[in-house]
Amino acid sequence: MESHSLTLDEACAFLKISRPTATNWIRTGRLQATRKDPTKPKSPYLTTRQACIAALQSPLHTVQVSAGDDITEELKCHYSAEVKPG
């Protein structure tokens, strides 16, 4: 890792993601990180800015989405301002 490491909270702030998301990215391999003390399973994670940038550029877990996908029928409105309910 580079000489300046980031804590998990610093990485979350840099990436603008939540702590659970960052932990998930580490578990799935999207964000590279190491434990401060690898012999302790609860030791805090450390990562780098380069690893954060690489995680943002990673195509892992991305799905193309289109607003019109799989819409085959018109959805009916449950309430109209022109018609009183009841």
pLDDT in tens, 58-79: 866 555 666 655 656 666 666 5
Mean pLDDT for the chain? 82
The reported pLDDT for the residue numbered 1 is 44
pLDDT, tens digit, 9 for 90 and up, residues 36-52:
999 999 999 999 999 99
**Helix, strand, coil tally for the chain in percent (to 5):** 30, 10, 60
The reported pLDDT for the residue numbered 32 is 96
Question: CB neighbours of 35 closer than 8 A, spacing ≥ 6?
Answer: 41, 43, 44, 45, 46
Q: Is the pTM of this model over 0.85?
A: no
The reported pLDDT for the residue numbered 65 is 60
